[in-house]
């Protein structure tokens, strides 16, 4: 497993991150057992970074992970735990208030059976957030030892810059959707900002449009078939599976994108590492982009 060290820290993460959104399944004993096996498979494959959110499985995913930590307490010092907060339900809205973020962190720590989070991310932008208030909340959480580092998720470059302007320490990551369908971050300044500021982009739903339906997918059948043809051609050339090629396509970007792998199948968790070994060419990266766009490059 390849690793990446976040800028100005000693926090070293596996390049592939294991996403825990599905580990509790339908919350049955069978699905929970499968989830624990998936986590252990990720550990055995060299993943050391585990991504959570307070809303995943209504907290059950964090609780299941906490059970595993209780069973193997020595594991905590060897891994990075990220969790996110800021999305509220009934009705769904976003909330970055001090009271809510603080209570969310305390709930995550209790469920995860740990004293601290290595990374705490704001899940989706609260359009009403006050940067100074969030900065004060971050400072309190860090001084209490509950959080080591901070980042954001689904933030635009301007939203990130606004929050960063109120902080004394750098935001380490921006977790965003990046996949063959959603390539907005290539042109909206997000990945440019990540390179400029040394922020690590973490890709959620990296296989959207290939293995899983992408959010808001507007591809036609013709689009899908055109992409599939190019993926098949390249996969044959690189002796890999099409979905592994998609990961390699993301990994090629100089912003050092870290894809989240969310499968609960041990074989797929292990097989994802194949993408790290592919000597993926500059030319093929653009061929796939052109196939995705459905027209020649200008």
Tokens linked to 27: 């919350």
User: Distance between the two ends of the chain, CA-based, in angstroms?
Assistant: 37
Backbone angles phi, psi at 277, to 5 degrees: -100, -10
In the annotation, is 94 catalytic? no
Pairing label, strands 3-5, 12-14: antiparallel
Phi-psi region of 79 (alpha: psi -120 to 50; beta: other; left: phi over 0): beta
Is residue 160 within 8 A of residue 150, CB to CB? The reply is no
Structure tokens at 98: 């001090």
User: Which of the following is catalytic: 56, 116, 127, 212?
Assistant: 56
Beta bridge partners of 5: 12
Which positions are catalytic?
A: 56
């Amino acid at each position: 497993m390849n690793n990446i060290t976040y800028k100005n820290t000693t926090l070293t993460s596996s390049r592939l991150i294991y996403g825990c959104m599905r580990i509790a399944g339908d919350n049955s004993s069978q699905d929970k057992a499968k989830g624990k096996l998936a986590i252990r498979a990720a550990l055995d494959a060299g993943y050391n970074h585990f991504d959570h959110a307070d809303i995943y499985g209504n907290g059950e995913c964090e609780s299941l992970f906490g059970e595993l930590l209780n069973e193997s307490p020595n594991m905590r010092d060897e891994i990075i735990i990220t969790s996110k907060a800021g999305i509220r339900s009934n009705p769904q809205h976003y909330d970055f208030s001090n009271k809510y973020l603080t209570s969310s962190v305390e709930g995550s720590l209790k469920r995860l059976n740990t004293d601290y989070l290595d990374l705490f991310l704001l899940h989706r932008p609260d359009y009403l957030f006050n940067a100074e208030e969030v900065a004060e909340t971050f400072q309190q959480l860090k001084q209490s030892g509950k959080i080591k580092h901070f980042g954001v998720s689904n933030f635009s470059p301007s939203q990130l810059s606004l929050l960063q302007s109120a902080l004394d320490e750098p935001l380490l990551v921006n977790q965003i959707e990046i996949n063959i369908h959603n390539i907005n971050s290539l042109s909206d300044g997000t990945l440019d900002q990540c390179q400029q500021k040394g922020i690590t982009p973490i890709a959620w739903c990296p296989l959207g449009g290939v293995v899983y339906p992408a959010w808001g997918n507007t591809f036609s059948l013709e689009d899908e078939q055109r992409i599939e043809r190019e993926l098949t051609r390249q996969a044959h050339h690189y002796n890999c599976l099409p979905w592994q090629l998609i990961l390699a396509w993301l990994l090629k970007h100089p912003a050092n994108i870290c894809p989240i792998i969310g499968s609960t199948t041990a074989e797929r968790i292990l097989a994802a590492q194949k993408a790290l070994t592919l000597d993926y060419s500059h030319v093929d990266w653009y061929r796939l982009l052109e196939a995705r766009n459905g027209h020649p490059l200008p």
